[in-house]
Amino acid sequence: MSEQFHKLTVSKLEKPIKDAVRISFTLPKHLIKEFSYHPGQHLLIEFEIEGESYRRTYSLNSCPFLEEDLQISIKRVKAGKVSNFANDQLKEGDTLKVMKPKGRFFAQITAEAYKSYYLFAAGSGITPIFSILKSILVASPYSQVYLFYGNKNQDSILFNEELKSLQAEYKQRLEIVHILSNPGLWSSWESWKGKKGRINSREIEDFINHHPPIAQQTEYFICGPSSMNLDVRKSLMELGIPADLIHIEHFSANQDEGIRKIDSVDHANIELSYQKNSFHFEMKKGQTILQGLKENGIEVPYSCESGVCGSCVAKLREGSAEMKTCMALDDKDIEEGYILNCQALATSERLKIEIP
């Protein structure tokens, strides 16, 4: 029983920078409610390319507090099937199969809040962060935003123009610091006078020292490659920030990154309870639990199949399993025994799992 896709029409295509495309969708009236979202959430899209279908998740960069079309931005990834298709072949008026927005990485924004938000983004990781940033400025008038944004060079900064104009509009409430790992000498009119390097623990401490919070209630959002995310979180925790104030999203442009080889058990016995029914089946070596379920005709929820969306979550009651990647769960979930069916392989003979 996988969830429903809706056909959405591409209403607009733009090129914010050379190697990225920005896609807008206008929602038909009847879908507006279903597609309402929190800033930071993502869309799962199924692309049909040369007869094959590919599922990818993309964070929304639009702002749910404005009457804006849904919008995502896709940066070209070398040899990436989908990103190249989106950049080169997609046309306005095309339709794509899209699932309603989801994801647990989002900011709960209220008009009365008096908060300081620290946002950390690298590369395409800016997309959900941009949505959060804009939403805070638009919908939380007392709150302050501090953005630390890493890129390769001047020309790879997605949202550069948009950020500049927000900066001008919200002088008192927004501070942005860029850091470039490889600022180009020739790629821009002026030479780079800002920070050079990457977002690391020294830079983070420096950033926070230069931008101490005004409102004392703080929250931290991080989105970038997983190695950066973990570094930022570690640095923040070393500064004494409680883990529950730190939110992380791994951006999914390189969904191949960080996948582990797992030595799974052959013919593992699975007992599943789901919606008051129980199912028994046997799995093959190297199969994910989701693959095993599908092969046995058992319909369970899933969508991205890449460990990002969290819709295939299950609880392990007995036995052991290991996941290839698991961006949708945090350490606490894992400790409590939650797994993602699309990523989990059996590492014991017998497993008992339950879908909540």
Partner 1 sequence: MPILPIEAYTSQEWLDREKRIIFGNSWQFAGFMEDLSDPGDYLTVQCGFQNILLVKGRDQRIRAFHNLCRHRGTQLLRAVGKKQKALTCPYHDWTYDLSGQLISVPEKEKEFPDLEIDKICLHKASVDIWRGMIWVHPKADAPSIIHYFDGIAEHLGPHDPMRLIEYPDTKIEKLIKANWKIVVENYIDVYHLAHLHSNTLQMYDHAKAEFGFVNDHYMFWEPLVKKYKDNLDQLIPYKRIAEMTDEYIGAYVPWLFPSLGLSETESSWSTFHVIPLAPDLTKVVLRSKLEPMTDWEYMRLGMKSGEAWKKIMGVDTKYKSEDPNDPMASGDFMEEDIFACEQQQKSLTNPLFSIAASAKQGESPIRNFQQIIAGWMKTEQN
Choose between 170 and 251: whose C-beta lies nearer to partner 1: 170
Residue 199 backbone dihedrals phi, psi, to 5 degrees? -70, 105
Q: Which does 73 bind (CB under 5 to 8 A by kind): partner 1, ligand FES, none?
A: none
Binds partner 1 by CB under 8 A, chosen from 112, 190, 263, 331: 112
Nearest distance in Å: CB 18, ligand FES: 31
Choose between 240 and 297: whose C-beta lies nearer to partner 1: 240
Nearest distance in Å: CB 342, ligand FES: 3
Residues in the chain: 356
State which of positions 250-309 bind ligand FES (CB under 6 A): 302-305, 307-309
Binds partner 1 by CB under 8 A, chosen from 10, 241, 262, 298: 241
Site string for ligand FES, 226-255 (x = CB under 6 A): ------------------------------
Residue 30 backbone dihedrals phi, psi, to 5 degrees? -70, -10
Dist. CA 131–CA 144, nearest whole Å: 15
Short-list 299, 301, 303, 305, CA closest to 344: 305
Q: Which does 215 bind (CB under 5 to 8 A by kind): partner 1, ligand FES, none?
A: partner 1
Choose between 15 and 210: whose C-beta lies nearer to partner 1: 210
Short-list 48, 6, 13, CA closest to 28: 6
Binds partner 1 by CB under 8 A, chosen from 77, 214, 230, 262: 214
Binds ligand FES by CB under 6 A, chosen from 80, 225, 310, 319: 310
Q: Which does 252 bind (CB under 5 to 8 A by kind): ligand FES, partner 1, none?
A: none
Dist. CA 287–CA 313, nearest whole Å: 17
Using CB atoms within 10 A of its CB, is residue 129 exposed (0-12), middle (13-18) or buried (19+)?
Answer: buried
Taking CB under 8 A as the rule, does residue 114 contact partner 1? yes
Choose between 310 and 319: whose C-beta lies nearer to ligand FES: 310
Choose between 55 and 247: whose C-beta lies nearer to partner 1: 247
Given a contact cutoff of 8 angstroms between Cβ atoms, the answer to whether 320 and 265 are in contact is no
Q: Which does 152 bind (CB under 5 to 8 A by kind): ligand FES, partner 1, none?
A: none
Q: Which does 208 bind (CB under 5 to 8 A by kind): partner 1, ligand FES, none?
A: partner 1
Residues of this chain that interact with partner 1 (CB under 8 A) are: 112-114, 142, 205, 208-209, 211-218, 236, 238-242
Residues that bind ligand FES (CB under 6 A): 302-305, 307-312, 328, 340, 342
